[in-house]
Structure 1
């Protein structure tokens, strides 16, 4: 299987938890346009205690990948009232024969053979074309120095097994020098990966006490210290200089903004303006310090007081509104996507990557639907997005008339689940109103009875019942009115 399209990659991550969002933010599998991406990555799967891959749900709404990994068989699997999201996701290939579908795997060290074997089994069962590794990050956050070697061993075993089954191996990796150096054996990764998705975003955010662009293409002129490393150009060159072929790198662009509340002590509103609190949560993503591009453009369309500027020497916009809780957001728009895709082309990269498809303007409220993704792909390829081929019709064959018939389409609805029972108010994610350090995953067994699994949030995080994710504790407590026992 070819890892790249002839005119460049357009890798689109899909955050499956967007199905739980409200109003115009709700995004299920069927909202995906299968023509605009060359590779679709379903986020996420994870490891069970037995080191076997499992269907899981997690959050990427902070600077680091939070270890808030939640089993979500209700959304992703068909069994026991499930919504079959994996199968419906891969059914998109019926509309685009060239589409490559990949399952993203959040990971830590594990028993490799058990993990590899279970991964192949699951990918085959749901007709995925490959696996994306998202270990953030080897040797970091409780890891061990030897994990740098362990990661390459895992990639080697996965690469061998996947390629033997005509599948591909990709990985999402850091753009930060201070993470790259201890975490990655770049030549070893280059040997085993088909595509490397460079997460060139979240370089700044509300964890900084000042404003800055989270995904600047180049260094801001006033940057000093470690901030001089926090830009896309540095990251791309650092990976290439370290031994990663440019033709394996997909440059990541965020389809969301990082946001702060400007401090009241000053009227500064450019880069490095004092801002000690995260910006208010949006109506769809509902996570402080984070707004989807769809939320930002809708605010700007409806409210005239939003100011949009580009800092001297930079290519990306930032926007602020004093009426909207003094919010300040750095983000990417149509024009900055053109510049980043043009840059990637000039560096002979494999193509582009986005996190994530469900926060583009997919309804077309502010312009054409999925404008940022389409702009990245059109600019990199130098032409219009081609009309995708459809799979050939399978010729009819003679079958046993007495054999049971199978459904030709994947079910999109399920019978109504049982009524609430104990901690389980519904299938899927359930908050504990008295304790935000954990939550419950509720699934239905073969007898249609709820089974609850306790999932703990990582240290420094709390469960945000508004967004159904574990997020930074200060961001959750900034919402107000939730987690009273943990935010006092």
Structure 2
């Protein structure tokens, strides 16, 4: 029996194990590097990211093949190599865009020209030329994936985009690759709303064909087109549907799985010129952009502006909208600072989205925002580390219990105190690991419950999460820990016949879909069972517990 226990823990500890934390997966931490900027590739802290997009390749209006702007040709072939020097596991993506305005600043705003992409998706031959060229170009320069950043398609383009994605995925799947080459990743930028002019995005095709879609959750309000101040990336808005939460919920309601959605994080904000120094509220009258020609300001520039302004100027975090605001008598700036980024990453976790994608990296200030965005995964990493520590330690404890272990109540009633180790002892240990509490103490409101009773009472009242040690608890894996608690309670039931075998325990922990019965009252219970009304027979017969002396050696 002991060998089965050891095998069980080895199974958990090794990477080949199928024992995964519920919902645990690698967080997508992506960002755009803008080739037309002045931020060197070698300055990218690629260790903070899982995916980095080179922005952007264009589309040739004549043959619909990819076109690399002459100004960025020198960077194209070196980008994948350079970002991998610091982080060999980062995946470089080739991002395609055909809507940059003459100033090169407008990303999701007005006056962009998407006619080339519209023409491309409208005909099979044009789509094929585009698809073949994208795959060939990505491979030629060492990119591991392709990203389409087309944020403002016409409503008439949407059905054709679905066809494009079907054909694109088929081409990627059938590509003749070199042995060392992995299949290309395919990602897509999408608007914050799943409809354009009442026409829906091809959600089935997106779900079926892309690895993930990046929600462009910013540029909702721009000073170049509105005469009032507006929040360009509000997570919430009590008075308007123009906010990220509304858009995400619309995508989810229309059938887009959260496991395919990545939240866009803006590393930029916008500055409005106020009409009146007496009115600086959200929605206040404004007379166009401030600070520069279109009001757009990178995070680094905003922080510099605040420092240079002096006189104790500081931004204020608004938790209602999840945004940071800076106001002066004449200027109103809204942007995402560390507080907003952390709140959005909590939102990613809450909605079970799979990560973030920042636009754009050169706007960060010494990687402050990018480090703040790591928070969601850092908690999961902390838990993984704790489990990696706890589980090997528990293996040592298992071996110790095989010698000095907890004694099942039926042994105690017969006066047998031996070296035997069985499923009951395992259940006690598992409850101690989950709770971080000792079994020789008392718990509960009146501190009159032993650990087994305390666990059972919380479980029966649907309050099992209160039992979990706070250092282990995490919303992305609570369901797995709760299943461990259920199995542990099954192991310590009063009647030995109701306890599972170690083989059954092993199977239930290994296979989350395997049914587990509802636990009954544990042994040594002082309180009456809610179902039967009787107290524990072991408690009626035994006055002390879990403190026997070894009086008999009986190897198993």
TM interval, shorter chain, is 0.5 to 0.7
Matched, 1:360 2:379: no
Rounded Cα–Cα distance in structure 2 between residues aligned with 1:158 and 1:250: 20
> Which position in structure 1 is the counterpart of 2:375?
378
State the alpha-carbon separation in 2 of the partners of residues 177 and 55 from structure 1: 29
C-alpha distance in 2, partners of 1:34/1:238? Answer: 33
Which secondary structure state, in structure 2, belongs to the residue aligned with residue 269 of structure 1? coil
SS at match of 1:229: coil
Change (3 A) 1:138 1:47: same
Give me the whole-angstrom Cα distance separating, in 2, the residues matched to 1:175 and 1:14. 21
Whether contact under 8 Å (1:342, 1:380) holds in the other structure is no
Identify if the C-alpha distance between structure 1 residues 233 and 187 changes in structure 2 by more than 3 Å, giving closer, same or farther.
Answer: same
> What's 1:446 paired with?
none
CA distance in 2, matches of 1:48, 1:40: 24
Q: 1:40 aligns with which of 52, 62, 69?
A: 52
- The residue that corresponds to 1:97 in the other structure is 88
Which of 229, 234, 247 lines up with 2:246 in the alignment? 234
- 2:64 is aligned, of 52, 61, 69, to 52
Q: Is the 8 A contact 2:54 2:79 kept in 1?
A: no
Deviation, structure 1 residue 155: 0.9
The Cα shift of 1:179 comes to 2.7
Q: Higher relative CO (CA 8 A, sep ≥ 6), structure 1 or 2? A: 1
Aligned: 1:217 with 2:208: no
Give 3-state SS (helix, strand or coil) of 1:276's partner.
strand
Separation of aligned partners in 2, 1:242 and 1:13: 28
Which of the pair has more CA radius of gyration?
2
Find the aligned partners of 1:357 and 1:377 in 2 and give their Cα distance: 14
CA contact (8 A) 1:101 1:128 kept: yes
Give 2:307's match in structure 1, choosing from 283, 301, 312: 301
**The residue matched to 1:173 in structure 2 has which SS?**
strand
2:322 pairs with 1:335: no
Match of 2:226 in 1: 208
Higher helix share: 2
1:160 aligns with 2:164: no
Unmatched 5+ stretches in structure 2: 1-22, 99-116, 121-125, 176-182, 383-556
Deviations, residues 347-380 of structure 1 (Å, cap 9, x unaligned): 110111111111010xxxxxxx211011112334
Contact 2:214 2:263 in 1 (8 A): yes
For the Cα contact (< 8 Å) 1:45–1:53, is it kept in 2? Answer: no
The answer on whether the counterparts of 2:148 and 2:187 sit within 8 Å (CA) in structure 1 is yes
The 8 Å contact of residues 130 and 162 in structure 1, kept in 2 or not, is answered as: no
Moved more, 107-116 or 301-310: 301-310
Bigger mean CA offset, 333-342 vs 173-182: 173-182
Q: Rate the CA distance shift 1:32–1:202 in 2: closer, same or farther, 3 A.
A: same
1:268 aligns with 2:265: no
**Deviations 1:189-225 (Å, cap 9, x if unpaired)?**
1111111000011111212211121111111x3x2xx
Partner Cα distance (1:117, 1:312) in 2: 46
Alignment check: 8 A CA contact 1:248 1:350 kept: yes
Structure 1 pair 274/36, CA: closer, same or farther in 2 (3 Å)?
same
Q: 1:302 to 1:137 in 2, by over 3 A?
A: closer
Partner of 1:297, secondary structure, is helix
Task: Output aligned runs, 1:110-149, within 5 Å.
Answer: 110=120, 111-140=126-155, 145=156, 147-149=157-159
Q: 2:327 aligns with which of 317, 320, 331?
A: 320
SS of equivalent to 1:42: strand
- 1:94 and 1:53, CA in 2 relative to 1: closer, same or farther beyond 3 A? farther
> What corresponds to 2:455 in structure 1?
none
Q: Give the 5 Å matches for 1:250-289.
A: 250-264=262-276, 267-281=278-292, 287-289=293-295
- Considering fraction of residues, name the structure with more strand: 1
Residues matched between the structures, number:
327
* Residue equivalent to 2:8: none
> How far, CA to CA, are the matches of 1:232 and 1:31 in structure 2?
31
Match of 1:175 among 192, 202, 206: 192
CA contact under 8 A between 1:123 and 1:130: conserved in structure 2? Answer: yes
Aligned twin of 1:12:
31
Separation in 2, partners of 1:312, 1:170: 31
Q: Give the CA deviation at 1:50.
A: 3.0
Q: Which residue of 2 aligns with 1:292?
A: 298
Q: Distance in 1 between matches of 2:143 and 2:136?
A: 10
Find the counterpart in structure 1 of residue 215 from structure 2. 198
How much does 1:311 deviate?
A: 4.3
| 1:293–1:137 distance in 2 versus 1, CA, 3 Å | same
Is the CA contact 1:176–1:229 (under 8 Å) kept in the aligned structure 2? no
Q: Deviations over 1:380-409 (max 9, x none)?
A: 442679xxxxxxxxxxxxxxxxxxxxxxxx
